[in-house]
Amino acid sequence: MTGRRNRTRRAVRAAVIALGITGGVLGGGVAGADDGIDDLSAQQIADRSRDALLSVRSLHLSARGDLGDGGPPMTLELTLDRDGNCNGSVGLGRDQGSVRIVKRGDDVWVKPDADFWKNQVPGGGPAFAAILHGRYMKGSADDPRLRGLVDGCDLDTFRKLVADNADNDRGTLNKGHKTTLAGTPVIPLTRVRDDRTLTTYVAATGKPYPLRITVRGDGADAVVGFSAFDKPVPTTTPPPDETYDIGALLGRTSAPV
């Protein structure tokens, strides 16, 4: 397989990059009680939103769009937890293919689609696809060929980026009027930084989770969504008759997926 597989790694980390960009919107500091946030300042709401996100044990992460880094727009739908379990998919954009990912404990299953094999592995992709015949490749979490996927499956990776960027507060943080997002009352917080407008929509009732982050401007047009807070990652894994050992398929090469 070729170096173009790094696009898979990049796609898995797309939402991490977005969180790194928007860390200053989420704020820093110590959250107060989960009472109404309507009358709080923009910074107080950002502080509570950041702490609410850091407190979760699991969540569903959705990312789509262009982060302005020169690559194609991509999509990510991933449920993940602090134990490193995850379940979801990564799309590389512009018909470049997609990959299904399941990680449970020390085992990882990945299933690239036909477009992935065709575009990312032009030399032997169709042959790999024919051998797999719709099955998952199964490997160990410590297999270097799967490292790019495994790294993106741990919720602690996202939590660390939020924490590390909490004080990155360049630009003025503004609080918008309460509105609704998919029927849920939210307070929008906006910051303009490096020619980009960053907006976080914070739940106005219950725990002040950030429900959506948008990044606009300077080549970026992306959306990151959060949901299913503290709901467990699905435990179902592909059965043996739907898997193929990655070592048998790819040999002993250590090139990353």
Of residues 1 and 213, more confidence is placed in 213
Structural domains of the chain sorted by starting position, each given as residue range(s) with its CATH number in brackets: 3-249 (2.50.20.20)
- CA–CA separation, 169 vs 22, rounded Å? 9
In this predicted structure, the answer to whether residue 108 has a pLDDT above a threshold of 70 is yes
For 17-67, how does the pLDDT look when each residue is reduced to its tens digit (9 = 90+)? 455 445 556 655 544 444 568 889 998 998 899 889 889 999 999 988 887
Q: Is 139 or 8 the better-scoring residue by pLDDT?
A: 139
Q: Which residue has the higher pLDDT, 192 or 15?
A: 192
- Alpha-carbon distance of 254 to 257, in angstroms, equals 9
Give 92-103 pLDDT, tens digit per residue. Answer: 877 888 889 999
For residues 218 and 29, the model is more confident at 218
Q: What is the mean pLDDT of residues 110-139?
A: 87
Q: Which amino acid is at 125?
A: G
pLDDT at 169: 62
Decide: pTM greater than 0.75: yes
Q: Maximum CA pair distance of the chain?
A: 61
Nearest-10 crossing angle of helices 14-26, 155-164: 40
Alpha helices in the chain (DSSP H): 6-12, 14-26, 42-55, 114-120, 125-132, 147-151, 155-164, 246-250
Give the pLDDT score at 208: 94
Contact of 28 with 50, CB cutoff 8 Å? yes
Under a CB-based contact definition with an 8 Å cutoff, are residues 204 and 37 in contact? yes
